[in-house]
Amino acid sequence: MTHPDNTDVVVRQKRGNPTAVLGTTSAPAQLKFRTRDKAVALALAFAKRQHVRAWFANDDDFVQLGTFRKDKVESARSS
């Protein structure tokens, strides 16, 4: 199972609770939203801007919403 890195954006929502919070795994929640849809939309926008991944967490289960990482690609050089 894949888990978010410390810099990835995570939307958390507890079962039965309509509010959702947005933050990272390494820090407390930063923003609170009345709906999950608004939190997810902002998480995706932030992840795209910061070139990280966006996740949704329902208790301890993580679902990746999108990835915007720019991994370094080494170019092959001919001698």
Where are the domains positioned within the chain?
A: 9-67
**pLDDT tens-digit profile of 10-46?**
999 888 888 899 999 888 889 999 999 999 999 999 9
Q: How far apart are CA 78 and CA 49, in angstroms?
A: 35
- pTM for the full model? 0.80
For residue 13, the SS3 value is coil
**pLDDT tens-digit profile of 46-74?**
999 999 999 999 777 899 999 998 765 45
Q: How far apart are CA 26 and CA 45, in angstroms?
A: 19
